[in-house]
């Protein structure tokens, strides 16, 4: 008896229309369920590149490349046999025949069709909206077009829309060098996310960055010139705004035309209607996910986290596995973003729509900080808004719906303002969601550590997907992982890096106690066994170099950072005693103590800038930056500056930058002390002091605080009885007011306490740790620091003062030392094998009677100055 084999049945086909962030997540969800092995998967993509991170789109202007933004791991599509057709969007769907036809004519039969077509920018129907110079802000191609037009045709730009994308677009135009305006129809910026108070705080900060904001007014017409290009805008309040280009960012609309054309049900205001499994209500073979879908709760979700959840839901329904009952019934609209460098977050019932709820508000208009928590009748946290300081966002969002373990008014107080220690992730219940992008709970993170034996944040990310979306939960993840490991009795490696098991503080003590003067000696004696004899890493080399430099006079080392082995430990900036700029040129920043300068020295700076063609800018720290110097020009420039009496301003190093001051009692009728003299004395005392992070200071001559001393690492404010000393301010991206350490000090008392404070910080801080972060991290906080520095509770103040005295006594200007030594000058060339050849990539274009870097968009951030001739040493 013979048998005939049956022909193999063709694999069922899944067609995905759209390959954005949600589309990529859908493909990953298919792969996780094994469907890419049992199905043919075809993707039709309109854009010329695979899925990229649209949330981080603006970072493209800061140097990230399309490859950096890509969300498709190399080999993922090939590994899973996914057919991706780029630049070939779907144009027609025949639901009866179950086929999709692409622009190229390609027709694909499907068993399941998934629409992930996203959304399109809404452009108000105003006259002139299609004129030359009008753009939308949605894709990388849009950004390329904006950049090209801004470079060639525009000096002023206007953004229509003051929401999330509008502010990002405004930041991009500002970064391109345009005078930038924001036009928002609502009475405040970001009207959906923040309330009136949050909008006011955001407005002050945005205007402080030099952007002009027009709220409560709309666009009536885009005005054009004889050539058809944009020349201005006519606003609804009757005013006219001159502008060379207009970027529309006034919201988005679901891209549902493909669904409309094939007869699928869409909502009255757009969006493809789907059920709780994200299956269209019109056709069981068609799904819709992301911004194109009208969810079962009647909403279109414009955030990536709900889109990811919809992608998971659709994949589960298609798989019909044990997870096939997964449903999408709504999503958390919480969001945390950094817009124009400002943290903005909202979560839960941010606008207080719940009956009987109460608001708890903290606002500081000076720092641009606004925090509001919405609390229910029973004390439960319902939601909140954070502007300027969103450090607690991850914890607060996870606590939404529960009663916090401490009073809500304590949750909004800033560090150093009387609040208890910040509420940490350990206070969260296991069911609290710590990653809203992928709906990962604290319990899941704990399980990754205890059950799946993850010991690092990257391992937890890979296991749970937490932290792989917007990234706002990564800090909380780190705290949870550490806490869980310690609770399990696992010793957490707190070493500086893979080369050293010791912390930075421990290495400092070793170097000081044993008078170790070289990195090699320290690595060979105290490094991990696997690292001994090696070359070290990019973490420990500059860290140890900084420790040796700060202790050089005491331990008998040469403190000059380019001497011998020390030179090999420095990063690019220290390596050339100048700040590397993004086109490969360098900046020159001479020290101007206290901001006081004679006319003669001003003339020298002007002549140097003129003769070398440098861009000049007065900084916020009362100095003058000279930008655009080629590496081989640096010694020539500094020779002239040193001859005129200038010293290095150490803008390139982790050291003291400036001590800013007002004019004090010498000139000001409100001044009560000589702030200029004190600022000069302090800057000259602490110049060149190497530390874990850069240091800034200021001296105000009275309580009116014109020098902004409370925003510095150490700040001094004059009183009728002497000086008040504040410490731990600054904070960089996380602003923090300094805390009062001591008050009514004499000159000698003030200097002595600053000596102690700085050396105690240098001794105990972690690498790259600001004084603000250090003050909050160190056990006991400000009280402990005060006990040590003021009351000498550890008995080390004499040693701290001695270390500072040694630094002051042995200070020497690094540039003066450099230009005296021909061997040291030999390093200042672009190419070591062709020292007379300037870097051909370094170029400039004119702007406002000066220069700016001449960089095409794709080159930004790619370190063109690292281009070397064959055989030469890279920087």
Residues annotated within the binding site for [4Fe-4S] cluster are 662, 668, 702, 706
> Which residues are documented as binding site?
662, 668, 702, 706
Tokens describing residue 52: 């990229």
C-alpha dihedral, 624 to 629 to 632 to 635, nearest 10°? -10
Three-class DSSP category at 702? coil
Pairing between strand 272-273 and 293-294? parallel
Pairing between strand 252-254 and 272-273? unpaired
Sequence-ordered list of residues with C-beta below 8 angstroms from that of 623, at least 6 positions apart, any chain? 589, 590, 591, 592, 595, 649, 651, 658
Q: How far apart are CA 753 and CA 405, in angstroms?
A: 37
- Torsions phi, psi of 504, nearest 5? -60, -40
Of 235, 251, 236, 54, give the one whose Cα is nearest residue 166.
Answer: 251
CA–chain centroid gap for 818, Å, is: 35
What are the C-alpha distances in Å from 856 to residues 61, 145, 426, 627, 853? 10, 12, 47, 19, 9
> Which residues are documented as binding site for siroheme?
706
HSE value, Cβ hemisphere, 13 Å, CA-based, for 242: 5
What are the C-alpha distances in Å from 280 to residues 313, 495, 715? 13, 54, 62
Three-class DSSP category at 115? strand
Q: If 0-12 CB within 10 Å is exposed, 13-18 middle and 19+ buried, where does residue 459 land?
A: middle
Pairing between strand 82-85 and 40-44? parallel
What are the C-alpha distances in Å from 302 to residues 252, 271, 326, 460, 471? 8, 11, 21, 27, 18
Tokens describing residue 279: 């299956």
**Residue 222 and residue 127 in contact, taking contact as beta carbons nearer than 8 Å:** yes
Tokens describing residue 818: 């450099």
Three-class DSSP category at 780? coil
DSSP string covering 642-700: HHTT--B--TTSSBEEEEEE--GGGT-TT--S-HHHHHHHHHHHHTT-B-SS-EEEEEE
What are the C-alpha distances in Å from 409 to residues 276, 335, 353, 424, 619? 39, 22, 20, 16, 37
What letter does residue 784 receive in the DSSP assignment?
A: H
- The single residue listed with the structure tokens 């800038």 is 609
Radius of gyration of the chain (CA): 30
Q: How many CB atoms lie within 10 A of CB 746?
A: 11
Q: If 0-12 CB within 10 Å is exposed, 13-18 middle and 19+ buried, where does residue 155 land?
A: middle
Sequence-ordered list of residues with C-beta below 8 angstroms from that of 791, at least 6 positions apart, any chain? none
Q: How far apart are CA 235 and CA 229, in angstroms?
A: 18
**Residue 779 and residue 413 in contact, taking contact as beta carbons nearer than 8 Å:** no
Tokens describing residue 228: 């058809």
What letter does residue 179 receive in the DSSP assignment?
A: E
Of 184, 355, 170, 297, give the one whose Cα is nearest residue 245.
Answer: 170
Of 524, 536, 590, give the one whose Cα is nearest residue 814.
Answer: 590
**Residue 760 and residue 785 in contact, taking contact as beta carbons nearer than 8 Å:** yes
Q: How far apart are CA 279 and CA 110, in angstroms?
A: 15
Q: How far apart are CA 72 and CA 80, in angstroms?
A: 12
Which helix (H) or strand (E) segment holds residue 253: the answer is strand 252-254
What are the C-alpha distances in Å from 834 to residues 397, 575, 871? 58, 19, 10
């Amino acid at each position: 008896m013979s048998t005939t084999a049956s022909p193999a049945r063709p694999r069922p086909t899944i067609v995905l229309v759209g390959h954005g962030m949600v589309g990529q997540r859908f493909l990953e969800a298919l792969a996780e369920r094994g469907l890419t092995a049992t199905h043919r998967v075809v993707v039709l993509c309109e854009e010329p590149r695979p899925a990229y991170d649209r949330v981080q789109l603006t970072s493209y202007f800061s140097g990230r490349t399309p490859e950096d933004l890509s969300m498709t791991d190399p080999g993922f599509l090939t590994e899973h046999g996914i057919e991706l057709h780029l630049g070939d969007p779907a144009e027609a769907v025949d639901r009866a025949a179950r086929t999709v036809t692409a622009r190229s004519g390609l027709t694909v039969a499907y068993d399941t069709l998934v629409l992930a077509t996203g959304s399109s920018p809404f452009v108000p129907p105003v006259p002139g909206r299609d004129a030359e110079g009008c753009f939308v802000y949605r894709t990388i191609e849009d950004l390329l077009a904006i950049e090209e037009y801004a470079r060639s045709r525009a000096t002023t730009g206007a953004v229509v829309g003051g929401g999330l994308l509008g502010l990002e677009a405004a930041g991009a135009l500002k970064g391109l060098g345009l005078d930038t305006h924001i036009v928002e129809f609502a009475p405040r910026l970001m009207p959906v996310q923040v309330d009136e108070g949050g909008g006011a705080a955001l407005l002050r900060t945005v205007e402080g960055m030099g952007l002009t904001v027009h709220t409560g007014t709309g666009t009536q017409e885009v005005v054009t010139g004889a050539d058809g290009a944009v020349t201005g805008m006519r606003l609804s309040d009757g005013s006219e705004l001159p502008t060379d280009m207009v970027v529309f960012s006034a919201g988005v609309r679901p891209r549902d035309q493909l669904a409309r054309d094939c007869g699928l049900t869409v909502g009255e205001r757009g969006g493809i209607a789907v059920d709780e499994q994200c299956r269209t209500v019109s056709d069981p073979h068609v799904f819709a996910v992301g911004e194109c879908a009208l969810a079962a709760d009647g909403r279109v979700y414009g955030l990536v986290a709900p889109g990811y959840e919809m992608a998971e839901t659709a994949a589960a329904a298609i798989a019909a596995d044990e997870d096939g009952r997964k449903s999408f019934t709504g999503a958390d609209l919480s969001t945390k973003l950094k817009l124009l460098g400002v943290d903005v977050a909202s979560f839960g019932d941010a606008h207080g729509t719940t009956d009987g709820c109460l608001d708890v508000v903290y606002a500081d208009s000076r720092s641009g900080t606004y925090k509001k928590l919405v609390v229910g009748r029973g004390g439960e946290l319902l939601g909140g808004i954070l502007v300027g300081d969103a450090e607690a966002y991850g914890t607060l969002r996870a606590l939404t719906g529960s009663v916090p373990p401490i009073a809500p008014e304590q949750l909004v107080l800033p560090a150093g303002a009387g609040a208890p220690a910040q509420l940490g992730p350990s206070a969260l219940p296991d069911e609290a969601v710590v990653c809203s992008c992928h709906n990962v709970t604290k319990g899941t993170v704990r399980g990754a550590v205890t059950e799946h034996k993850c010991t690092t944040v990257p391992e937890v990310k890979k296991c749970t997907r937490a932290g792989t979306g917007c990234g706002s939960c990564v800090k909380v993840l780190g705290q949870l992982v550490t806490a869980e490991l310690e609770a399990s009795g696992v010793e957490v490696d707190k070493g500086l890096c893979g080369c050293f098991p010791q912390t930075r503080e421990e290495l400092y003590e070793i170097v000081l106690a044993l008078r170790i003067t070289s990195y090699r000696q320290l690595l060979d004696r105290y490094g991990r066994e696997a690292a001994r004899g090696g070359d070290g890493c990019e973490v420990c080399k500059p860290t140890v170099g900084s420790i040796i430099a700060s202790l050089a006079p005491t331990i008998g080392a040469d403190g000059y950072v380019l001497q011998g082995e020390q030179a090999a430990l420095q990063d690019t900036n220290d390596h050339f005693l100048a700040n590397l700029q993004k086109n490969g040129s360098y900046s020159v920043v001479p020290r101007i103590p206290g901001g006081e300068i004679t006319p003669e020295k001003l003339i020298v700076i002007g002549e140097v800038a003129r003769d070398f063609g440098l861009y000049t800018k007065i900084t916020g720290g009362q100095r003058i930056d000279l930008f655009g110097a080629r590496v081989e020009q640096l010694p020539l420039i500094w020779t002239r500056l040193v001859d005129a009496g200038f010293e290095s301003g150490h803008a390139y190093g982790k050291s003291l930058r400036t001590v800013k001051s007002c004019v004090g009692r010498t000139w000001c009728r409100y001044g009560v002390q000589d702030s200029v003299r004190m600022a000069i004395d302090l800057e000259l005392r602490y110049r060149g002091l190497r530390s874990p992070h850069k240091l800034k200071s200021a001296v105000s001559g009275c309580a009116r605080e014109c020098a902004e001393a409370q925003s510095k690492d150490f700040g001094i404010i004059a009183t009728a009885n002497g000086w008040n000393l504040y410490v731990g301010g600054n904070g960089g991206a996380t602003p923090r007011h300094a805390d009062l350490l001591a008050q009514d000090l004499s000159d000698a008392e003030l200097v002595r306490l600053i000596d102690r404070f700085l050396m105690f910080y240098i001794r105990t801080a972690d690498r790259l740790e600001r004084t603000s972060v250090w003050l909050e991290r160190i056990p006991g906080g400000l009280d402990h620091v005060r006990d040590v520095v003021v009351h000498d509770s550890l008995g080390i103040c004499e040693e701290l003062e001695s270390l500072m005295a040694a630094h002051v006594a042995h200070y020497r200007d690094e540039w003066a030392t450099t230009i005296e030594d021909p061997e040291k000058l030999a390093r200042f060339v672009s190419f070591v094998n062709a020292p007379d050849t300037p870097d051909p990539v370094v170029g400039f274009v004119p702007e406002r009677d000066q220069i700016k870097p001449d960089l095409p968009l794709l080159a930004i951030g790619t370190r063109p100055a690292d281009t070397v001739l064959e055989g030469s040493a890279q920087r």
